[in-house]
Structure 1
Amino acid sequence: MTAVTQPQPLAVRRYPDLLARAAIGMFLVVNLAIIHLMFVSAGPPAYNAFGSVGRLLGLYLAFAMVVQVLLVARLPLLDRAFGMDRLTGWHRWTGFTVFWLAVLHPSFVVLGFASHDGVSVFRTALTLSAQLPVLLGLVAVALIMLIVGLSVRIARRRLSYEMWHAVHLLLYVVLLLGIVHQLYEGTAFAINLLTWLYWWGLWVFALGALITGRLIVPLLRNNRHRLRVAAVVPESDDVVSVHVTGRDLDSLRARSGQFFLWRFPGHNRWWQVNPFSLSAAPNERSLRLTAKGVGSTSAGLRDLPIGARVFAEGPYGAFTLDRRTRTATLLIAGGIGVTPIRSLLEDPALGGDVVVLYRVRSGADAVLLGEMRNLARERGARLHVLTGRTGGANQPFAPENLRALVPDVTDRDVYVCGPMALTNAVLVSLRRLKVPSRQVHAELFRLAG
């Protein structure tokens, strides 16, 4: 008989998170203070205020790029404290910040030179772009504009996940061009040996974290665990489960609700990677992912041969029972978002009163429903399958309807995963019902880069 592991007390579980958040906040404040100190110590540029503003914006731009690198480095400290989904949201907004700084920095620099020399802005821009360091910087700006343009929601919807991910690989080219540009054009961090060591030490730290988190650690882990496809099980016409086995899987310390970045060498190109949640509680023998065929990678999973190699990065995500603050739990799943919810429902640490809401268009779309019913029966959980098109009187996640289904919703931790529209509707209703934000846990899968 499997013993049920009760979650740690809230104070014990959240103390490391609070320390991590304080450390991250201190990192940002201290570095911004140092950047302003370097800017002041460097003195005003030889030309005018336009150039001075341009130089400060250049420092902001370089630091924003450092922050961006750290956000995509898969740092365990950040993942545990905030969750990869929230970090990816910050990555998106940091990307827009980088975009505007990349536009404004050269604009002010050109204005400064044009005003000082008394020539047109266009002629000044042409003269500066003839210099190789400046040209490399302008190429980086053009690539940033391309990446951000394809990340805008209207453009994003027209791209497959695989293509969108491939476009984000251009970020590494931007980093290289940006570093070369700083080597030749940087002045504020070349005041003395101390500022030089600080600035390039910051970049070494960021790039070291990136290489370690995105290359070295995954390579070492996959060499150790030797993941292989053990079984491929169709769950419906367009949904398939893949069972993965390997060595020493317990040392991965994966948790229900988490996800991996999956690659299938020989079946897909090396750059095709997808975030799929664990759809069953992980154990020392196997991992299971369940995916709907919406892209080239996920659609081809049913053709994976038994024994095929698997390359996985992770586990990632804070969508786990470690985040609970209450003994009662509400699990809300929409469509294929049922996968982490089903995993949480199986987790031995899940105790107390549990309610599950599973939203699908029709009963035929309710994949893993048999497993959900069996698990709910074993745990004494209440499972409600909500069907039909949303609209008119059928608004199951409207505040009044959600309260009718779960009258004590404010006294529960709420886990929600599903399509963006469903998740947003649930989050809005929870705010209107005054469910404390610390009790709300959402997985949105906005992963990029």
Structure 2
Amino acid sequence: MPLSRTGVLASAVILALYAFTGAVVLTAPYESPYNVIARLLALWGFLALSIATLLTPFLRQITEVFGRPFLSVHHTFAAVGLLLPTLHPVTLAIGSLNPAVFIPVFSPWERFWALAGRPALYLLYIAFAAVILRKYIPKYWRWVHGLMYVVLLFAVVHGNLIGTDFENPVIWTIFNALFILVVAAFILKQWQKVQKKRASARRAGA
């Protein structure tokens, strides 16, 4: 099924977001090539994870818009959102020759949030594992997979506190707006579940 007009527009917006963030990173002063690559990986990874999460309340609409099954579109962005954030600390570790970038810091509280990207990476893998193990934990996998929202929270706080590119007001606006949209998508998804349960109860009582 070909892309709809809305799908073409949505694809153009997504590509524009990637192109713009790439341009911001590549045109800003930098200390080393590793710094540039790490920043690109972080921003593009956040974009992919945000988009994958934003799609979840719109299963039928995504299929109509992109001409592909929802899971195909969702998993494409999710895969990119898993790979790029993984490579972000790898690049930093190589550039600084310091593997400590993988070790979460829990104290003091301010430093925990400044470096919240570190625990976010481990939560990302736990959330991803829930999908693979869903048949073994059918009652709980959705709750575990829901850690993705915590991952995005940690990531956006981390970016706001120490992210170099968040000093750009447009980047700051885009990425904080994306997180707000993710929260809105979460609320919408929960509302849909409530409506579905009410409809099922009405049918059962009819």
- Asked if these proteins are the same fold (TM beyond 0.5), I'd say yes
In the aligned structure 1, how far is the partner of 2:15 from the partner of 2:173? Answer: 19
In terms of fraction of residues, the more helix-rich structure is: 2
Matched-pair contact (CA < 8 Å) for 1:140–1:174: yes
- Tell me the SS of whatever aligns to 1:52: helix
**Structure 1 unaligned residues grouped into runs of 5+:** 1-13, 115-120, 230-243, 246-305, 309-449
What one-letter code is carried by the residue in structure 2 that aligns with 1:214?
K
The root-mean-square deviation of aligned C-alpha atoms, in Å, is 3.2
Cα 1:82–1:213 change in 2 (3 A) is farther
Match of 1:93 in 2: 76
Q: CA 1:86–1:76 in 2, change beyond 3 Å: closer, same or farther? A: closer
Partner of 1:132: 112
Q: Does 1:200 align with 2:168?
A: no
Secondary structure at the aligned position of 1:73 is classed as coil
Q: Please tell me whether the aligned partners of residues 123 and 151 of structure 2 are also in contact (alpha carbons under 8 angstroms).
A: yes
- When normalised by structure 1's length, the TM-score is 0.39
Q: How far off its partner does 1:76 sit? A: 6.2
Task: Report the Cα offset of residue 171 of structure 1.
Answer: 1.5
Q: Structure 1 pair 82/22, CA: closer, same or farther in 2 (3 Å)?
A: closer
Give the SS at the match of 1:72: coil
Amino acid corresponding to residue 182 of structure 1 in structure 2: G
Deviations 1:227-284 (CA, angstroms, capped at 9, x unpaired): 354xxxxxxxxxxxxxx52xxxxxxxxxxxxxxxxxxxxxxxxxxxxxxxxxxxxxxx
SS in 1 for 2:38: helix
Compare relative contact order (CA 8 Å, sep 6+) and give the higher one, 1 or 2.
2
Contact 1:68–1:91 at 8 Å: present in 2 too?
yes
Measure how far apart 1:226 and its partner are: 4.8
Q: Which amino acid aligns with 1:215?
A: Q
The alpha-carbon distance between structure 1 residues 194 and 172, as it changes in their structure 2 partners (threshold 3 A), is closer
CA shift, 1:82, in A, is 4.6
Q: Following the alignment from structure 1 to structure 2, what is the Cα–Cα distance between the partners of residues 68 and 228?
A: 28
CA distance in 2, matches of 1:207, 1:56: 24
Which structure shows the higher strand fraction?
1
What does residue 148 of structure 1 align with?
Answer: 128
Name the counterpart of 1:349: none
Structure 2 unaligned blocks of 5 or more: none
- Aligned to 2:141, the other structure's residue is in SS state helix
What is the aligned-residue identity percentage?
21
Structure of larger gyration radius: 1
User: 1:82/1:37 Cα in 2 relative to 1: closer, same or farther (>3 Å)?
Assistant: closer
Equivalent residue pairs, number: 202
How far residue 113 of structure 1 moved from its aligned partner, in angstroms, is: 2.6
Distance 2:165 2:158 in 1: 14
Which residue does 1:263 correspond to in 2? none
> What is the alpha-carbon distance in structure 2 between the residues aligned to residue 126 and residue 80 of structure 1?
40
Residue from 6, 10, 22 that aligns with 1:36: 22
CA distance in 1, matches of 2:142, 2:179: 24
What is the CA-CA distance between 1:216 and the residue it aligns to? 4.5
Alignment equivalent of 1:113, drawn from 59, 73, 96: 96
Once residues 126 and 92 of structure 1 are traced to their aligned partners in structure 2, the CA distance between those partners, rounded to angstroms, is 25
Q: Deviations along 1:14-60, whole A, 9 cap, x unmatched?
A: 99x6112111211211111111121123222x3x2222211111111
The 2-side partners of 1:198 and 1:175 are apart by 14
Contact 1:51 1:109 survives alignment (8 Å): yes
**How far 1:128 moved relative to its partner?**
8.2
Letter in structure 2 aligned against 1:146: I
**Equivalences for residues 109-258 of structure 1 within 5 A:** 109-114=92-97, 121-122=98-99, 124-125=100-101, 129=105, 131-133=111-113, 135-152=115-132, 155-157=133-135, 159-191=136-168, 193-208=169-184, 210-211=185-186, 213-216=188-191, 221=195, 226-227=198-199, 229=201, 244-245=202-203
Which runs of structure 1 show a deviation greater than 4 angstroms over 4 or more consecutive aligned residues?
126-130, 216-219
The answer as to whether partners of 2:24 and 2:165 remain within 8 angstroms in 1 is yes
1:74 touches 1:213 (CA, 8 Å); kept in 2?
no
1:80 paired with 2:64, answer yes
For 1:267-282, what aligned pairs fall within 5 Å after superposition?
Answer: none
Deviation at 1:142, TM superposition (A): 0.6
Amino acid at match of 1:200: N
Q: CA deviation at 1:189?
A: 3.2
Aligned-residue offset at 1:127: 8.4
